[in-house]
Amino acid sequence: MTINRIGLIGLGIMGKPMAKNLLLAKHNLGLYARNPATLESFTTNNIEKYSSPAELAENCDITITMVSDSPDVEEVIMGKAGIIDGAKSKHLVIDMSTISPKLTRSIAQSLKAKNIDMLDAPVSGGEQGAIDGTLSIMVGGSVEAFNYAYPVLQVLGKNIVHIGDHGAGQVSKACNQILAAQTVAAVGEAFLLAKSSGVDPNKVREALLGGFANSKVLELHGKRILEANYKPGFKAKLHYKDIGIALKSAEENNIAIPGTIMIEKYLRKLVEQGDGELDSAAIGKIVLDGNG
């Protein structure tokens, strides 16, 4: 199937640079935004603007959704004048938002009844990854849909893995979020132990980067924590939301993940004390402040 036009809904921190990369790759774009002012900066003539997700989907072959949370995804796909109302048979929805695996499976099933296909394709790599087109993309859905979408995903990311069936991408993202957050907390504990022992945590970080405890989190968030630079980046309140998804899944699957429960407390504390807009590296701040 030829891809004549790609629809994109969600022009936030992530969606905007993704749109730019799709345009650079010579794709025709279809855009919709709840607030039309968001679309003003998009002026090239390979862009069409639509007044509803349904209208957008009707005029595009693929619709990418990149919105904040489960209710937003549900609304643009299943809600009034939603994608499901406009999309023609064989349309593909690629949801790159981070939402619940369970909801993903349920939406995919509803779409399938109308012969619309879906991939869940949440990402890791943050704003910089979106700008550079180097996102890590975790994909759930059929192999056929994955192969069809692959050239488009390649424009947006670098490490693109087909994890499994519907929801598997979201499960992988949940795994990513619990691992990243716990590593931040562990880095916080290491720095706290160093500081309280009268040892420079900068030196400790330098030493640990060369050994077995090395991680992307120690490198990037470790630096943020030591500089007390919590400008986002990836906001704590969104990480909190993602951890909630993981804990809900754990509950549904009847498993215990106590490390995740611990970092949920840290993130909740950040949100409750009004620090939800900080980068989620601020988990380290909570640990360093002894609120562990």
Applying CB under 8 A, the residues found at the interface with a copy of itself are 101, 124-126, 136, 138, 158-159, 161-164, 167-168, 171-172, 174-180, 182-183, 185-187, 189-194, 196-200, 203-204, 206-218, 220, 246, 249-250, 253-260, 262, 290, 292
| Least distance in angstroms from the C-beta of 154 to a copy of itself | 13
Paired tokens of 185: 């907390």
Listed residue (109, 108, 90) closest to 148, CA to CA: 90
Rounded Cα–Cα distance for residues 13 and 10 (Å): 9
Strand 123-124 to strand 135-140: parallel, antiparallel, or no bridges (unpaired)? antiparallel
Token pair for 225: 């924590």
Phi, psi of 137 (to 5 degrees): -120, 125
For a copy of itself, which is the closer residue by CB, 49 or 105? 105
CA distance 287 to 137: 30
What is residue 205's DSSP assignment? H
Question: DSSP characters for 55-73?
Answer: HHHHT-SEEEE--SSHHHH
To 10 degrees, the CA torsion angle through 189, 195, 198, 201?
90
Nearer to a copy of itself by Cβ, of 63 and 100: the residue is 100
| Nearest distance in Å: CB 71, a copy of itself | 22
Shortest distance, position 223 Cβ to a copy of itself, whole Å:
14
Q: How far is the CB of 158 from a copy of itself (least distance, A)?
A: 7
Residue 11 and residue 37 in contact, taking contact as beta carbons nearer than 8 Å? no
**Closest approach of Cβ 230 to a copy of itself, in Å?**
16
Give catalytic status of residue 173 as yes or no: yes
- Residue carrying structure tokens 């010579």: 26
Nearer to a copy of itself, 145 or 190 (CB): 190
User: Closer to a copy of itself at the Cβ: 44 or 210?
Assistant: 210
- Give 13 or 262: the residue with its C-beta nearer to a copy of itself: 262
Q: Which of 20, 49, 173, 203 is catalytic?
A: 173
Closest to 205 measured CA to CA, from 193, 190, 183 = 190
Q: Which residues are catalytic?
A: 173
